Chains A and B, each alone.
Chain A
Amino acid sequence: MDFSQSTNIDVTESDFSVAEEYQALVEENPKDGAVVFFVGLVRDMNQGHCIQGLHLEHYPAMTKKALLSIVERARQRWSLGRVRLVHRVGSLKVNDQIVFLGISSPHREASFEAAQFIMDYLKTEAPFWKKETTSDGERWVEANEKDSVARKRWSET
């Protein structure tokens, strides 16, 4: 099997190790000269509320399919090597890791742009929903207008 253009997607309740994910991107990968990665974390303040923790719900039958489709669209636009995407679900605390996206490519421009593209689409198309526990009780996080705007810059229909 050729691992030079592998896509690895994981939706899990478990935490991930950035070091291990990075290792999986670079190990025996002489073709790619660039790795870009992004880690999303739980912030302590959101939309004016003080956050104690959150619960991430998803649509199990659709989640991986949606993420794979986003990565495939990125692969059509840029020449990418390996793509690794981990998204956590379940209960998380402030400062916990939520999402890891790592991309390798021959040159850095492709990884940088594809990382933005994949995160912009993940934020607007992947079926995840956050419910925050705040000092005032529980609330569903509202979708951000800025995420839809960010996605539109890639001008896909």
Chain B
Amino acid sequence: MTKVLFFASLREQAQCDSLEVCLDHNITVAELKRKLIEKNDCLKRALNGNVLTAVDQEMVNDSFCIANGSEVAFFPPVTGG
């Protein structure tokens, strides 16, 4: 299983802080986003804007290939400091 986490405004839009997906083969970040967007309108709203992605706590881009069992996090541009 692959754990998907949402933070900040994305968590509010998705109306959930985490969910699990089963990836039968390795897919890219862009493909996972498409898969989630098809699930429901909340996820569609959350993932359609300017979204950053971390896989196993490292920032990656949309072409990064996700292995099953990874922790994927989606979040808006960061605003710390």
State the CA gap A40–B79 with chains docked (Å): 13
CA distance A28 to B15 in the complex (A): 51
Kindly report which residue of chain A lies nearest to residue B77, judged by CB atoms: A143
Interface residues of B in 26-63 (CB under 8 A from A): 54, 57-59
Q: Which of A99-119 contact B (CB under 8 A)?
A: 99, 119
Q: Determine if B81 and A59 form an interchain contact, defined as CB atoms under 8 angstroms apart.
A: no
Pair B73/A87 contact, Cβ less than 8 Å: no
**Pairwise interchain contact A62-B81, C-beta atoms closer than 8 A:** no
Q: Are A40 and B81 in contact, CB atoms less than 8 angstroms apart?
A: yes
Question: Chain A: interface secondary structure?
Answer: mixed
Contact A56 B80, beta carbon cutoff 8 Å: yes
Are A59 and B5 in contact (CB-based, < 8 A)?
yes
Shortest Cβ distance from A122 into B: residue:
B81
Interface centre among A119, A122, A125, A129 (most CB of B within 10 A): A129
The proximity string for B residues 2-15 relative to A, scoring 1 for CB distances below 8 Å and 0 otherwise, is 00010111000000
Q: In the complex, A144 Cα to B76 Cα: how many Å?
A: 12
- For A79, what are the chain B residues with a Cβ–Cβ distance below 8 Å? none
Interface residues on B, range: 10 to 19
Contact partner, B81, options A57, A65, A128, Cβ 8 Å: A128
**B64 lies within 8 A of chain A by Cβ:** no
Output the nearest chain A residue to B7 by Cβ-Cβ distance. A59
Contact between chains at A129 and B9 (CB < 8 Å): yes
Interface mask (A107-149 → B, CB under 8 Å = 1, otherwise 0): 0000000000001001111111111000000001111100000
Name A residues whose Cβ lies closer than 8 Å to a Cβ of B.
40, 56-59, 61-62, 65-66, 87, 98-99, 119, 122-131, 140-144
Query: Given contacts A140-B79, A142-B79, A143-B78, could you give 4 more A-B pairs where the C-beta distance is less than 8 Å?
Result: A65-B57, A123-B78, A124-B78, A129-B79
